[in-house]
């Protein structure tokens, strides 16, 4: 028996037998340049400005997702028959689900106008990638099947749900990993109990959670909620993203305005093409990683353009923007935002780059709302209700906790240089607080 | 009371009060660009090629070291009087002990011919750095005092030992942190018990370990031994370093030979100056980080020079060299190494870059050997021997385990492309094994 | 410096300096027979029938509570002046808060008609105990002050709240300890963050939680909620308690009916006096522990009385009652309970001992309801609301999670021998489920 | 699929399918009264006097051992064919290996003159036990096969080694469990890595450790060594055992001398029969547990005999003997011991009960010494030596660490009442220390 072993801070040992068809496929996928690139992309982007330990890569996360899907499939195989082929497709999809991810996705996707899921599917389907070649060597149908897990059209749906749904191995891994790495404990939940409670509703081709797993799933939903509030939406992280976004926009506008000489740009790189506004090819996209961004921003600390130079220095030295939550009656919000913007400009800053309105929201549990919303239906969490008279129900019908979390979390802030903090705080204290 | 809090995967909460002189000093040091640079330098360099989770930075480690030295000082303050000023110097030194570290130190220090400790002292003493400015604002003597902790001339020596000795907070932090991040558990020991057992021998101005702490210290020494064998000297890590070293040497030699056009080099960067063989200034050194190396090696995947191009592709795609331990009678070693080198060349590889002899050694516990070796004496571990009749002894006098580890671990290997693995293994199997 | 060190599975090292007045007091209290008795009383009573690892004693828990209160007091001392004397009283109360606890309290308190808190206060105030003597040797006022922490009349109230309130060190310890020992993870929350966020509202003499601690407190409240549902109210635990209660009631009734010869009773023991219905003295109460109960029930496996004998065998061999939740419309409940009781009797069991209706409820967070309810007011959780415009609010005003948990958890079940399980399940399935 | 799940503090989830022959057997064995009795026997006996958290039962440990053997068997089944029947026997033996254990074994076995292993085999083979009945219902040969695993005659020997050898699941579980529960961390090692490195040498019918597992096994051996020194041989634990031994001897001698009226003894109990010196039957042995001992010692606090009374009070109130290590040149030992005994008697104590010489030794790794010592040979640890030229060697041939531990740990102490501590320490300080 030959095998490959990875040691992992979250799951300890991740073991892949290389003498089975599935194992050999997965090991070869890991060894492709497209997958190795994920080592150079941080899972949490700029979160390390808030939680200095959050330096883990998408590579480590993707291995964790693969590990979890295999554990779940092994467990389900005790009760259900799962075809070898379906299993391989689902495992490959779990491993590859992030290969289209770019560096600092939240910022770059907005600037370059793409979505990482589309790139993932492209990387799987394009015959130019090694990932595609390895998949095809397993079977001609494999690339399309893997892509269908990611786009949600794979059947059996129950297996696709393991990789992409409200309760999937992607979330299961990142909550634990991000918790461990940030040092914040909010994302910890009872993984073993959930794995043990997962089951398949064969009649409806969907997964569900056995009655005894309800509390563990509630805990998982709460974990997700708190991770959003405390980590993913942390004001320092969002503010760092705001600064980086201003930097990239400024670079883009300098180039557009023909002022490329004001700044450094490494010739003949995908990054330079992106800043020039070119339509990126798949190869371009897969060339870029965190080093491109960091290297250029470092050079831009000496740019001739004063805005690009100043913002780049702030970013590298971690002198980020401050942020204030717009927790006030909506009627007062517009007035406050205008006044704050004026304060920024009065202090001599170009508001186009130094004043950022930041909005985001997340719903830790998205239940079923409209019968036509078929995608959501396939991704919902169902639980067994009752011990002696069991029936499956959508979790919000059964759980007050899940219902409470349905509302999600809305973030609405403004970010601005620390130099105007006193001014804006003064304004802020004159505004009425929201009614509770 | 105002404070700053860091969450840490190893120590959980790292808290700094900003309303005390010491706290204010430390917070201001953390905010300098020189210290922020450590975010961009991985603690374990290329170890992530072996342990994908080993992505933590020297920034996170340095905060951990600071946290530990403060915990130890707080504990010792219950029994001993420690001057505020001494305490501040020791804390600052703990925080700053790595600021001179470069990217991928083991490789770069060999190529560029410097030692990080010298750069750390330079960064503390040079009036050009912000670190120096912040230290001087605390007191004029502070830069020199901090430097003296690092170079080992600080008095009281007992406090300097906390930062630099066989049993110091630097090792205490990195063993735990590297263990957690690699997922290998070899570096775990009983930190709390050691902190609790540390004491000061005031008569001799040195630290010692109370009798009840002996086993915890033995465990710590073993932890260090295993981390060297299993992580720091791991064949994949060393092989990745060998490849990177060949890449940098090749680039250097191309430039020296006037073939700079064969490859990309970002103008007007410290990294370019280093490849040109210029003597680096402190500012140059502090400009460089992991992004410079990664960005250039990525570009060199398209270099015109075939060796640089090939090696860079191998490095980026993680197709590293294989390695074989030279565990054989010394008499056979030279013959085998020659034969292996010939095999590499026979396969068409330039042995200057594709055949690497790798040697390293570590002694987890270095005891006292010669009376003149005063530096060592000040860094040794002393323990209390006996409960009812206590006396202090050097640990190897008391502990069979420490004595056993004195021998250390010698690594001697050759690295070569996987293409010649079969040939070299065939040669290897004809060589006699070492006698046990 | 002399000290005493305890190793603890939850808190690692619990250290007490014995050369300070406070430390000496605490060490001497630990060494009293009254406190040592807690080694022989399991914290979770019969929970080990559900979670075999839940075997920890009230002794271990009480040390943990002491450890936590000292950590919190140390932290608060950075900002607030805390009198040495107040501190000693609060620490002693934290240590002693459970010394009045009896063996299998939930069962015995019902049978013997007492409440452990009253016994705790008696043990502190009675001049006959060594605990009282040690406290008096610290100061004459000490026993009364310690008792006042426990009965809630101590001032400053903010310090008493640390030992007894909705957010006290008792709960903080038992959630973590019970989680670890059961292996269920439901009770884990972010202890360090809560300790770090606790503050004192000096104007109103109460504790509060700083804004940044809100999420950690929410997590703590949820932890408590899940521990109740999954551990403290677990059907097996409650069913074991039901069996033990039936055993003790049967023994009591045999004695009352003059049939003492039907069973073994160790002469001249407090346990025998209790079964005889005597009014117990403090000395009696402090004589009893888990061994008395277990030893007698073991002997009763050979009692002449068939009911006592049968129930004792079931208990010792862990053949417990089954349970069914009365989750049905209230209108159907009475009918169902009657029918179930009849089924038990039809099978030849005496329903007085073999049919148990079990009710319990808990409110993880009890908020403020009526202005006259002053006790509750002093035990409520207040949190800082808002960063730039902070004000203190009762937690349910701010936190939707806390509000959701206000409802608490009601348990209502019937327990019966497994022999009638099929019959009762058949009945149960004919009853309508509750409307959601 | 039906299953039974245990939550465990060490292994988290222990899952047994009840719809397989093996699972059904194991579940039924757990439910026997003989196995349930283990809930009432503490794994570490009196260790809780040293480590208050060490309260776990042999029941919890035995479930852990079962869990581990199943994990190892599952892992080995990937490579080797293991017969269903062999597997069931090995699993049952792992579960039952401790059912013959008595309460406070180290003390009781000495007093009552038995060995728990013999009782375990008796309980498995005797047709009077439910354990035997359940095993026979699986197959007639099962009782004998299970017994042969325990007595070391089972074939294949490789499987028996998993349950009983230098590297068996019994030790694997207790090191981790005792570490967790004591709070001492000395027994932690890399379980997952060892499980992953175990293999079978089919030619020689024995287990071995693959090359990559060497360091983990070294760590395991050291863990065992430290647990002996720091926990199992802790002076407080041994001293508590010494007191209990004196109590039981005194009770025995009172009865023998016809002074039974001096003390309480519960009629018609196995414990009373033991104190009377009767030969115990299997049923007697299986009747006794910790409650018998504790209940009687509690009563003996009021015995008329002053020695029994005094010792019992000391035991219950944890006023134990002090201990001094006899770490001195052998020539001086006898003189010192005599002098110490005289000091005890001079203080008015009966040395027969108040002066105890305590000796014990352990060898964490027992290697192969003599070719005739066939039992040892079958229990030795073999490891693969070398990567490219592997050969199996006994671990001490390969590992300096294992060689170092061969010497084991010898304990030699005297125990005496704290009242004479000053006298004996004075004597002790006049004795020369051992030469190092």
Nearest-angstrom CA–CA distance, B57 and D119:
57
Helix H or strand E segment including C108? helix C105-112
Nearest to D39 among C52, C57, C184 (CB): C52
Q: What is the CATH number of the domain that holds D319?
A: 1.20.1250.30
C222 with A222: Cβ contact below 8 A: yes
> Which residues of chain B does C79 touch, with a Cβ-Cβ cutoff of 8 Å?
1
Nearest to D433 among B189, B325, B389 (CB): B389
> Which residues of chain D does C294 touch, with a Cβ-Cβ cutoff of 8 Å?
40, 289, 291, 295
Summary mean pLDDT of chain D: 91
**What's residue B376's pLDDT?**
62
Looking at C208, C232, C256, the residue that finishes a domain is C232
The verdict on D267 and D345 lying in the same domain is yes
B229 with D215: Cβ contact below 8 A: yes
Instruction: Give the pLDDT band (50/70/90) at residue B372.
Output: very low
pLDDT of A365 higher than 70: no
- Which of D4, D76, D78 is the mutation pick for testing A, counting most A CBs within 10 A? D78
Is C17 near chain B, with CB under 8 Å? yes
- Which of D55, D283, D312 is the mutation pick for testing C, counting most C CBs within 10 A? D55
Any domain includes C383:
no
Nearest to C1 among B13, B78, B192 (CB): B78
What percentage of residues in chain A have a pLDDT greater than 70?
95
The verdict on B174 and B256 lying in the same domain is no
Any domain includes B377:
no
Name residues 142-201 of chain B within 8 A of C (Cβ).
192-193, 196
Instruction: Give the pLDDT band (50/70/90) at residue C328.
Output: confident
- pLDDT tens digits along B149-158: 999 899 999 9
The verdict on C194 and C255 lying in the same domain is no
What percentage of residues in chain C have a pLDDT greater than 90?
76
Burial zone of D186 (CB within 10 Å; 0-12 exposed, 13-18 middle, 19+ buried): buried
Q: What is the mean pLDDT of residues A19-45?
A: 97
**What's residue C372's pLDDT?**
40
> Which residues of chain D does A15 touch, with a Cβ-Cβ cutoff of 8 Å?
196
For residue B268, give every residue at least 6 positions away whose Cβ sits within 8 Å of its Cβ, in sequence order, or none: none
Name residues 75-104 of chain D within 8 A of C (Cβ).
none
- pLDDT tens digits along C52-93: 999 999 999 999 999 999 999 999 999 999 999 999 999 999
- pLDDT tens digits along B126-176: 999 999 999 999 999 999 999 999 998 999 999 999 999 999 999 999 999
Any domain includes D368:
no
Looking at A303, A319, A335, the residue that finishes a domain is A319
Nearest to C53 among D8, D51, D290 (CB): D8
Any domain includes D110:
yes
Report the residue of chain C nearest A189, measured CA to CA.
C185
C33 with D183: Cβ contact below 8 A: no
**What's residue C387's pLDDT?**
65
Q: What is the mean pLDDT of residues A243-264?
A: 93
Looking at B319, B342, B359, the residue that finishes a domain is B319
pLDDT of C274 higher than 50: yes
pLDDT of B370 higher than 50: no
Instruction: Give the pLDDT band (50/70/90) at residue C331.
Output: confident
Map tokens 């071995």 to a residue.
D208
- Say if residues B19 and B2 touch (Cβ distance below 8 Å): yes
In total, how many domains does chain D have? 2
Provide the shortest C-alpha distance from residue B265 to chain A (in Å).
9
Which has more pLDDT, B263 or B1? Answer: B263
pLDDT of A128 higher than 90: yes
Any domain includes D384:
no
Q: What is the mean pLDDT of residues C248-257?
A: 95
pLDDT of B375 higher than 70: no
**Cα atoms in the 13 Å half-sphere on the side-chain side of A130:** 15
The verdict on B58 and B132 lying in the same domain is yes
**Strand extents, DSSP E, A85-233:** 198-201, 206-209
Q: What is the mean pLDDT of residues D53-71?
A: 97
Instruction: Give the pLDDT band (50/70/90) at residue A373.
Output: very low
Phi, psi (rounded to 5 degrees) for D44: -105, 15
- pLDDT tens digits along B56-70: 999 999 999 999 999
Q: ipTM of this model?
A: 0.93
- pLDDT tens digits along B82-111: 999 999 999 999 999 999 999 998 788 877
Instruction: Give the pLDDT band (50/70/90) at residue A127.
Output: very high
The verdict on B33 and B155 lying in the same domain is yes
Separation in Å, CA A285 to CA A35, A148, A273, B322, D424: 13, 21, 10, 31, 80
Helix H or strand E segment including C197? helix C191-197
The verdict on B301 and B219 lying in the same domain is no
DSSP string for residues in D16-69: EESSSHHHHHHHHHHTSHHHHGGGGSBTTGGGGGTSTT---BHHHHHHHHHHHH
Is A5 near chain B, with CB under 8 Å? no
Which has more pLDDT, B371 or D413? Answer: D413
pLDDT of A370 higher than 50: no
Report the residue of chain B nearest D220, measured CA to CA.
B186
The verdict on C185 and C255 lying in the same domain is no
Phi, psi (rounded to 5 degrees) for A165: -170, -175
> What is the longest distance spanned by two Cα atoms in chain B?
75
For residue A306, give every residue at least 6 positions away whose Cβ sits within 8 Å of its Cβ, in sequence order, or none: none
Instruction: Give the pLDDT band (50/70/90) at residue B401.
Output: confident
pLDDT of D340 higher than 50: yes
B193 with C1: Cβ contact below 8 A: no
Any domain includes C328:
no
pTM of the model: 0.94
The verdict on B61 and B207 lying in the same domain is yes
Any domain includes C290:
yes
Q: What is the mean pLDDT of residues D223-230?
A: 89
Name residues 262-301 of chain D within 8 A of C (Cβ).
264, 266, 269, 287, 289-292, 294-295, 298-299
D9 with C183: Cβ contact below 8 A: yes
Nearest to A13 among D5, D13, D192 (CB): D192
Subunits close to B (at least 3 CB pairs below 8 A):
A, C, D
Report the residue of chain C nearest B212, measured CA to CA.
C5
Summary mean pLDDT of chain B: 91
B186 with D219: Cβ contact below 8 A: yes
Q: What is the mean pLDDT of residues C327-341?
A: 92
Q: What is the mean pLDDT of residues A40-58?
A: 95
- pLDDT tens digits along D116-146: 899 999 999 999 999 999 999 999 999 999 9
Provide the shortest C-alpha distance from residue B269 to chain C (in Å).
43
Nearest-angstrom CA–CA distance, C236 and C46:
9
Is B17 near chain C, with CB under 8 Å? yes
pLDDT of D301 higher than 50: yes
Is C19 near chain B, with CB under 8 Å? no
Provide the shortest C-alpha distance from residue A366 to chain B (in Å).
30
C8 with D60: Cβ contact below 8 A: no
**What's residue C112's pLDDT?**
74
Report the residue of chain A nearest D3, measured CA to CA.
A196
Is B212 near chain D, with CB under 8 Å? no
Provide the shortest C-alpha distance from residue A15 to chain D (in Å).
9
pLDDT of C135 higher than 90: yes
**What's residue B369's pLDDT?**
39
B188 with D188: Cβ contact below 8 A: yes
Is D130 near chain C, with CB under 8 Å? no
Nearest-angstrom CA–CA distance, B215 and B395:
11
- pLDDT tens digits along A257-312: 998 888 999 989 999 999 999 999 999 999 999 999 999 999 999 999 999 999 99
A52 with B33: Cβ contact below 8 A: no
Which has more pLDDT, B378 or A313? Answer: A313
For residue D248, give every residue at least 6 positions away whose Cβ sits within 8 Å of its Cβ, in sequence order, or none: D107, D108, D111, D275
pLDDT of D368 higher than 70: no
Which has more pLDDT, B410 or A201? Answer: A201
Q: Which domain holds residue A240?
A: 234-319
D184 with C7: Cβ contact below 8 A: yes
Any domain includes A31:
yes
The verdict on B155 and B268 lying in the same domain is no
The verdict on C201 and C243 lying in the same domain is no
Helix H or strand E segment including B86? helix B84-96
pLDDT of A184 higher than 60: yes
The verdict on C222 and C241 lying in the same domain is no
- Say if residues B340 and B431 touch (Cβ distance below 8 Å): no
Q: What is the CATH number of the domain that holds C142?
A: 1.10.3210.10
Summary mean pLDDT of chain A: 91
D298 with C291: Cβ contact below 8 A: yes
Report the residue of chain B nearest A41, measured CA to CA.
B55
The verdict on D218 and D245 lying in the same domain is no
pLDDT of B374 higher than 50: no
What percentage of residues in chain A have a pLDDT greater than 90?
75
Subunits close to C (at least 3 CB pairs below 8 A):
A, B, D
Integer-rounded Cα radius of gyration of chain B? 23
B184 with A7: Cβ contact below 8 A: yes
Q: What is the mean pLDDT of residues D223-248?
A: 92
The two structure tokens encoding residue A85: 């082929």
- pLDDT tens digits along C191-230: 999 999 999 999 999 999 999 899 899 999 999 988 988 8
B53 with A56: Cβ contact below 8 A: yes
The two structure tokens encoding residue B68: 């530990």
Q: What is the mean pLDDT of residues B41-69?
A: 96
């Amino acid at each position: 028996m030959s095998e490959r072993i990875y040691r992992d801070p979250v799951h300890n040992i991740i073991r892949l037998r290389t003498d089975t068809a599935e194992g050999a496929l997965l090991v070869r996928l890991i060894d492709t340049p497209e997958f190795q690139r994920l080592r150079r992309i941080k899972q949490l982007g700029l979160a390390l400005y808030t939680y200095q330990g959050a330096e883990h890569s998408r590579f480590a996360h993707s291995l964790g997702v693969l590990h979890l899907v295999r554990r779940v499939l092994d467990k389900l195989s005790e009760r259900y028959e799962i075809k070898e082929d379906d299993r391989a497709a689902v495992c490959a999809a779990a491993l590859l689900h992030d290969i289209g991810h770019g560096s600092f996705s939240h910022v770059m996707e907005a600037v370059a106008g793409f979505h990482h899921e589309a790139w993932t599917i492209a990387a799987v389907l394009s015959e130019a990638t090694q990932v595609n070649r390895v998949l095809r060597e397993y079977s001609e149908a494999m690339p399309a099947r893997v892509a269908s897990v990611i786009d949600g059209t794979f059947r059996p749906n129950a297996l696709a749900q393991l990789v992409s749904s409200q309760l999937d191995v992607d979330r299961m891994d990142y909550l634990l990993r991000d918790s461990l790495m940030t040092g914040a404990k909010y994302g910890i939940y009872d993984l073993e109990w959930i794995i043990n409670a997962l089951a398949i509703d064969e009649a409806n081709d969907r997964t569900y959670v056995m009655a005894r797993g309800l509390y563990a799933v509630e805990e998982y939903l709460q974990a997700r909620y708190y991770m959003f509030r405390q980590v993913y939406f942390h004001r320092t992280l969002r503010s760092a993203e705001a600064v980086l976004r201003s930097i990239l926009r400024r670079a883009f506008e300098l180039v557009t305005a023909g002022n490329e000489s004001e700044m450094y740009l490494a010739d003949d790189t995908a990054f330079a093409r992106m800043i020039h506004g070119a339509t990126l090819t798949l190869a371009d996209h897969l060339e870029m990683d965190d080093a491109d961004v960091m290297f250029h921003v470092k050079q831009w600390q000496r740019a001739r353009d004063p805005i690009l130079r100043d913002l780049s220095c702030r970013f590298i030295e971690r002198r980020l923007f401050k942020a204030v939550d717009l927790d006030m009656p909506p009627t007062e919000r517009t007035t406050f935002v205008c006044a704050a913007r004026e304060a920024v400009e009065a202090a001599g800053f170009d508001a186009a780059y130094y004043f950022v309105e930041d909005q985001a929201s997340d719903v830790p549990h998205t239940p079923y709302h409209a019968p036509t919303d078929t995608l959501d239906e396939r991704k919902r969490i169902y639980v067994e209700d009752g011990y002696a008279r069991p029936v499956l129900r959508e979790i919000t019908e059964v759980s007050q906790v899940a219902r409470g979390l349905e509302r999600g979390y809305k973030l609405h802030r403004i970010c601005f240089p620390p130099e105007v903090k006193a001014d804006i705080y003064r304004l802020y204290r004159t505004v009425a607080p929201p009614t509770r």
